[in-house]
Amino acid sequence: MYDQVIDKNNPNSALKVTQGAENKRDVNENFLKIVKKAKELSVDDYVEGILSGNRTLLARAITLVESHLYKHQEMAQQVIEKCLKHAGNSIRLGITGVPGVGKSSVIEVLGKMLTSQGHKVAVLAIDPSSERSGGSILGDKTRMELLSCDENAFIRPSPSAGSLGGVARKTREIIILCEAAGFDVVIIETVGVGQSEVLAHSMVDFFLLLQLANAGDELQGIKRGIMEMADAIAINKAEGKEKERSELAASHYRNALHLFPPQESGWQPKVFTCSAYSKMGIDAIWQTILDYVALTKKNGFFYKNRNEQNLRILSETIQQTLLEKFYNSEVAKQKLDIAKDDILDNKVSAYIIAQKLIDEYFQSLEK
């Protein structure tokens, strides 16, 4: 009876079953072709792309640098080597300061000012938290919204690479790629909480420390070592009611810096106040950087410093590679724990056992 009422072939019935149509792939075929082609990029494709300033290819080359796959690493090294002779023509600027001091805000204003003057600005980060937690202090918030939309700017978060040494190495390699892509100002941002600024300092020409006026006894919070590394200190958020207090803090810093021994660069570190909000003092920071570069190029320190930085990479890489090889060796695996116990039991001197293990390691290589 119901069959008569429910006629599935009746075009007006809600139960009518239409012929199935062929399901279209929900991914655009052209896109698939591009992805497939992109997968097959050669070293020369990457290099050409980078040299022509193609930001997409630059970003992909950086992904290669950051990759842990041996195949990618091998390719990345070839790309870097070919880019090397096109690199070096930038001002490398380090910016550090505690979280919240206004690093990204200052970089945004400085970066926009520079791109409007025709510069190309790359912003890289060294984030010590990526070492421990895989998370990040620098990358959690939406940062530099205007600059990230600027086609003459390139912003890249910190590589997460196991150890801070690994992050440093990758950052140095990324600097080379950015310079080859025509970025003439490379900013390395880092959080002022430890080893990361020492690393950042070891790869830049100019080091800027951002501070706040409201820290009470301002000078206590920062380690002397960081102040000694700074070529300039800027007291940020120095607008409105904070202006006077910031000026006072600046004069404290000026006095403190005078007590430090003169820098090898022949440069006397400068202290400013600035405000990312009111855009005050940002142009003065840039002018100071230009003055510094002019002075140190004239007296040769600029080149000497870069050479020393490169030579340091050589010795650091040798040390690191030797250490890794030793600790991964059979000698270390079999004898290190016993040696540690013997040292703790006062059976043997640490110096003697260290020498013995190293001798045994080198002997094992000869076999």
Nearest residue to ligand GDP, scored by beta-carbon proximity: 102
Q: Which is nearer to ligand GDP, 174 or 274 (CB)?
A: 274
Minimum Å distance from CB 276 to ligand GDP?
4
With 0-12 / 13-18 / 19 or more C-beta atoms within 10 angstroms meaning exposed / middle / buried, residue 335 is middle
Minimum Å distance from CB 100 to ligand GDP?
5
Q: Which is nearer to ligand GDP, 277 or 326 (CB)?
A: 277
Tokens representing 51?
């040299």
Residue 254, CB half-sphere, CA atoms under 13 Å: how many? 10
- Residue 41's nearest CA partner among 61, 25, 27 is 61
DSSP-derived letter for residue 260 is S
DSSP-derived letter for residue 28 is -
E strand or H helix at 228:
helix 224-229
Tokens representing 202?
């070891």
Minimum Å distance from CB 253 to ligand GDP?
17
Minimum Å distance from CB 312 to ligand GDP?
28
Contact 150, 112 (CB under 8 A): yes
Strand boundaries in the chain, DSSP class E = 91-97, 121-126, 153-156, 185-191, 206-212, 232-236, 270-273
Minimum Å distance from CB 219 to ligand GDP?
19
Q: Which is nearer to ligand GDP, 111 or 182 (CB)?
A: 111
- Residue 123's nearest CA partner among 168, 78, 154 is 154
Q: Which is nearer to ligand GDP, 286 or 302 (CB)?
A: 286
Q: Which is nearer to ligand GDP, 139 or 166 (CB)?
A: 139
> How many Cβ atoms from other residues are within 10 Å of residue 254's Cβ?
14
Minimum Å distance from CB 36 to ligand GDP?
39
Contact 267, 295 (CB under 8 A): yes
Q: Which is nearer to ligand GDP, 136 or 309 (CB)?
A: 136
Minimum Å distance from CB 246 to ligand GDP?
10
Strand boundaries in 174-267, DSSP class E = 185-191, 206-212, 232-236
Q: Which is nearer to ligand GDP, 239 or 247 (CB)?
A: 239
Tokens representing 100?
């919240």
Interface with ligand GDP (CB under 6 A): 97, 99-105, 236-237, 239, 275-277
Distance of CA 39 to the CA centre of its chain: 26
